[in-house]
Amino acid sequence: MNLQIITIDGPSGVGKGTLALSLANYLSLNYLNSGSIYRAVAYLSELENINTDNIKEIISLTSTLNIRFITDNKEFKIICNDQDITAEINNEECATRASIISSNIDVRKSLIDIQRSFCKEPGLIAEGRDMGSVIFRNSQKKIFLTASNEIKAQRRHKQLKQKGINVSLPHLIEELDNRDSRDVSRKISPLVIPSDAYIIDTDKLTINEVFDKTLKYINN
Ligand code: DC
């Protein structure tokens, strides 16, 4: 029997994380937050003073990478090599570094197996940029979330503020724009809408409405 794989892709700040986590809990499926894997590599490389263009050293970090997610009661923690790095990777600097590192073909290749290893019984909710287009191309249900740049930045701003991180809104808009255009324009596995994806424009929808729409699509 094929495992149930549901992919959720989209640019930064569209609410992929919230949706994917709620769905994984609701459907009791495994959960993969692929962005955290790129962020973990970005974080570790920074800790070890490895430049973003030193691909050989970066890849050697990925070979010993051990990532797991704790997703109890909507709490989300990223454990990397037995250390909780959730707070360390949850900032725009780390995201930007992750975006730069992720544009390299060999880095991406070195992280394919670890991402696919999350696909176990009874199934998987995988979120990121290339889940439906590359990593789980055969998934039965592909969702692609979109939102306008302004709304994305506002949401991300609110999220960071709740975590006690203060960033100016115009600065955040600029950072998100830069990151999204890098993710869309890179040569390998760019952010694209899979041809068989169900697209949800989240601009005028609440989190619950996006959740309900997605569930309807999955159950159809
Ligand atoms: O989803 P996120 O914001 O945590 O992702 C951080 C960066 O990691 C994103 O800007 C690009 C990269 N990324 C990627 O290239 N492919 C993925 N599947 C997920 C993230």
Task: Label each residue of the chain as H, E or C.
Answer: CCCEEEEEECCCCCCHHHHHHHHHHHHCCEEEEHHHHHHHHHHHHHHCCCCCCCHHHHHHHHCCCCEEEECHHHCCEEEECCEECHHHHCCHHHHHHHHHHCCCHHHHHHCHHHHHCCCCCCEEEEEECCHHHHHCCCCCEEEEEECCHHHHHHHHHHHHHHCCCCCCHHHHHHHHHHHHHHHHHCCCCCCCCCCCCEEEECCCCCHHHHHHHHHHHHHC
Pocket of ligand 1 (CB under 6 A): 12, 34-35, 38-39, 95, 98-99, 102, 128-130, 179, 183
- How many whole angstroms from 1 Cα to the centroid of ligand 1? 30
98 CA from centroid of ligand 1 (Å): 7
Average pLDDT in the chain: 93
Distance between Cα 62 and ligand 1 center (Å): 15
Residue 74 has pLDDT above 80, yes or no: no
pLDDT, residue 161, reads 86
In this structure, of 67-76, 83-92, 198-207, the range with the lowest mean pLDDT score is 67-76
The mean pLDDT value for 31-38 works out to: 97
Is the pLDDT confidence value at 220 over 80? yes
Q: Which atom of ligand 1 is nearest to the CA of 95?
A: 6
Q: Relative to the CA of 38, which ligand 1 atom is closest? A: 8
pLDDT at 87: 93
Given pLDDT bands bounded at 50, 70 and 90, which one contains residue 1?
low
Mean pLDDT of 57-81: 90
pTM for the predicted model, two decimal places: 0.94
Residue pLDDT, tens place only, 83-142:
999 999 998 899 999 999 999 999 999 999 999 999 999 999 999 999 999 999 999 999
- Ligand 1, atom 11, lies closest to the CA of 99
Residue owning the nearest CA to atom 16 of ligand 1: 129
Ligand 1 atom with least separation from CA of 179:
10
**For the CA of 115, the nearest atom of ligand 1:** 18
* pLDDT-based confidence at residue 143 (cuts at 50, 70, 90): very high
Domains of the chain, first to last? 4-208 (3.40.50.300)
